[in-house]
Chain A
Amino acid sequence: MNAAALQAEFARFMRLRRDLTKNEDARRFADEHLGGNERLSPVEQLEIYREQFFLRHTESLVEDFPGLGGILGQAAWDELVWAYLAEVPPTSHDLSELGAGLPAFIAARPGLEHRELLVDMATLEYSHVAVFGAPDRPKLDPQKLASVPEDAWERARLLTDPGLRVHRSRYPVIALRRRLVAARDGDATAPSEPVPLPAAEPEPRHFAVHRRERLIYHDELERGAFALLQAVMDGAPLGAACETAATRAETSVEALGAQLGRWFQEWAARGYVIDVIVTQ
């Protein structure tokens, strides 16, 4: 077996969920290729690496998803995360991308209690990770804004800050996350009893997660503003974005248009919009 084939087989064993010392394939592989010594058999040596694979990645996910862990509790968290790591292997050198697939994994996983709440929380928490390391971009140049001809706005595209994500959540996950993190950190003001779950009745919210300088903000959004921002972030020119947003927000283009000036001012002030691109 050449090095590449050996490594491929080794890597496969790293992601098996159960102790390799009880796995006949792993034992055979280890006996054939690994040395072992008088203290550890070959498969016990291999098991050191498999165990560390799960410990290291679990620890990273614990850091990134404290609210999700707080909802699930230790046993269910372990179950979910170990299944995730076994089924969705990390592919990036960047550990901060490890949880990128977790919201979708939760959404598709059968038998989970409070699934919608879990998806909302995982989505919020991964947004924190994403905006935290997003590139810094210069703010919108007011002169460039002033130079856009009146009749060009309909086909103009708004370029948004890479440190911006918009969400529609079904549960008040921002407040819940604060409570769970405070409880985890032993904050004296945190409730002493476990946070009751489901934490709240469904309470749909629209909000932006946005990094401004070194702060991460949760900004409440009106439904129409959320729909429009979402369409703009999908790359639609402003005119088409308004139509899409009006449909999604179940309102008229005219009603949406009436709010546009106010929203745009707010977005520019917060730094959501960093450029306006007008194509001929």
Chain B
Amino acid sequence: MTAPRLGLPDLGVGVGLRVPHYRRLFAERPPLDFVEIISENFMGVGGRPRYHLGRALETYRVVQHGVALGIGGPEAPPREYVARLRELATITKTPWVSDHFCWCGAGGAHLHDLLPLPFTRELVRTVADRARAVEDALGVPFALENTSSYLTYKGSVLAEWEFIGEIAERADIGLLFDVNNVFVTAYNHGLDPVEFVRRVPHERIVQIHLAGHSNLGTHIIDTHDGQVIDPVWDLYRLTIEHAGPVSTLVEWDDKLPELEVLLAEAERAKMERQRALEARARSGSTLDAAQLEAIRDAARARPGAVTPGDGGWHQGGPRDAAAASTAEGDEGTGEAAE
């Protein structure tokens, strides 16, 4: 029998480590159960990103999450890339490394997107084999995340929850379960989000992601640019009721608010998590049949029900760019990047 969370620790509730919050986060050091970094932003061998990573590690537990592995692409992930991930993991001492069920490019081009996979038996085998090899090479537990998607393939023969569940079982890896992505995908493709939550292998969920999104009416884009909506909070509690206490991250990557707004969202996650755990302890649920139906109803597309968005999205968060954060330095010819 598989141990809950594959035996990995429950870290509590954390937030993403993002450049606009560095100044206050490192000055005030608010209590946080953990912070999540985007691996690719710190895979260079030095410079300012590594300096800031060191500052984060002084206070916080750091978990690594990647956006560029492309595990389902035409070619296996490059060994050199995986080696750099491993090198970073030795510095962060991350309890696990995660990426996505997706592909990122073909023919030598890296498209920097989490592109959806056809849910086929061929790809179950391919992704599972590669996932096992990646975990072996990393030397730390590995997990893959369900993505948001904006299209479906005619060639798919499995439901998404079957696809990700079979790969996780076959490769014996963890799931990073993104509850917002479940909602987005359900809305975009007419799926039942409650069924999705119920059908994944709960004991393999090692981490949960929560985020906001932009509803364009015809479809939802996973923009990570706002607060988590109520139906997603409901799905989150449902997930916790099934999976038990699981490390949970609030993702906010675009239109970043003041730090206290992000921290308040993390506090809400703690509260919702506690409610669900209490219900689980008494073998009950925070959601009755009508509330479950309300979640399904919210995930039914209604063209015209639009939340504002700028059309762009940042899966993986803004990178620590040189020019974007350059300011005049303290010497005449210097420019500081702080």
The chain A residues found within 8 Å of chain B, CB to CB, are 1-4, 6-8, 10-12, 14-15, 32-37, 39-40, 42, 45-46, 48-49, 51-53, 55-57, 59-60, 63-66, 89-96, 125, 128-129, 131-137, 162-163, 181, 211-212, 214-220
Contacts and interface: CB of A to CB of B under 8 A. Distances in A.
B331 A217 contact: yes
B154 A93 contact: no
B112 A128 contact: no
Contacts of B104: 93
A93 B151 contact: no
Interface stretch (B56-64, B117-125, B234-242): B117-125
Tell me which of B50, B118, B126 has the highest count of chain A C-beta atoms within 10 A of its own C-beta: B118
Nearest to B311: A55
Contact of A2 (B50, B122, B190, B314): B122
A57 B154 contact: no
Contacts of B115: 7, 10, 49
B337 A132 contact: yes
A33 B155 contact: yes
B292 to A, nearest CB: 23
B326 A181 contact: yes
A132 B48 contact: yes
Interface string B309-334: 00111100001011110100111011
Interface in B80-138: 81, 103-113, 115, 117-118, 120, 122-123, 126
B189 interface: yes
Interface of B: 40, 43-51, 68, 72-74, 81, 103-113, 115, 117-118, 120, 122-123, 126, 150-155, 188-190, 217-219, 221, 301, 303, 311-314, 319, 321-324, 326, 329-331, 333-338
B74 A55 contact: no
Tell me which of A96, A128, A131 has the highest count of chain B C-beta atoms within 10 A of its own C-beta: A96
Contacts of B111: 11, 14-15, 53, 90
A265 to B, nearest CB: 18
Given A45-B150, A57-B112, A94 B190 contact: no
A56 B45 contact: no
Q: Across chains A and B, which 3 residue pairs bring their CB atoms closest together, nearest first?
A: A132-B322, A35-B152, A93-B68
B106 A8 contact: yes
Given A3-B74, A135-B44, A135-B47, A92 B110 contact: yes
Nearest to A39: B218
B124 to A, nearest CB: 11
B123 A94 contact: no
B47 A48 contact: no
A207 to B, nearest CB: 9
B153 A34 contact: yes
A7 B122 contact: no
Given A45-B219, A128-B322, 18 more contacts: A6-B118, A7-B115, A8-B74, A34-B154, A53-B111, A57-B112, A64-B322, A93-B104, A93-B112, A128-B323, A131-B47, A132-B47, A135-B44, A135-B47, A136-B47, A214-B48, A215-B331, A219-B333
B110 A135 contact: no
B154 A33 contact: yes
Contacts of A136: 45-47, 50
B186 to A, nearest CB: 12
B322 A34 contact: no
Contact of B312 (A52, A91, A217): A52
A129 B113 contact: no
Nearest to A134: B47
A7 B75 CA distance: 11
10 contacts: A2-B122, A8-B74, A11-B107, A37-B189, A57-B112, A93-B110, A96-B321, A136-B50, A212-B334, A215-B336
A51 B311 contact: yes
Nearest to A130: B322
Contacts of A92: 110
B137 to A, nearest CB: 16
B112 A216 contact: no
Nearest to A67: B323
B40 A34 contact: no
Nearest to A8: B106
Contacts of B333: 217-220
B261 to A, nearest CB: 23
Nearest to B49: A133
B153 A133 contact: no
A49 B151 contact: yes
Nearest to B303: A39
B107 A214 contact: no
A218 B332 CA distance: 9
Tell me which of B108, B188, B323 has the highest count of chain A C-beta atoms within 10 A of its own C-beta: B323
Tell me which of B44, B111, B189 has the highest count of chain A C-beta atoms within 10 A of its own C-beta: B111
A93 to B, nearest CB: 4
Nearest to A128: B322
Nearest to A4: B74
Contacts of A3: 72, 74, 117-118, 120, 122-123, 126
A216 B326 contact: yes
B50 A46 contact: no
Contact of A215 (B49, B153, B218, B337): B337
B231 to A, nearest CB: 19
Contacts of B313: 52, 56
Nearest to B302: A39
Contacts of A33: 153-155
B191 to A, nearest CB: 11
Contacts of B118: 3, 6
Given A90-B112, A214-B337, A8 B107 contact: yes
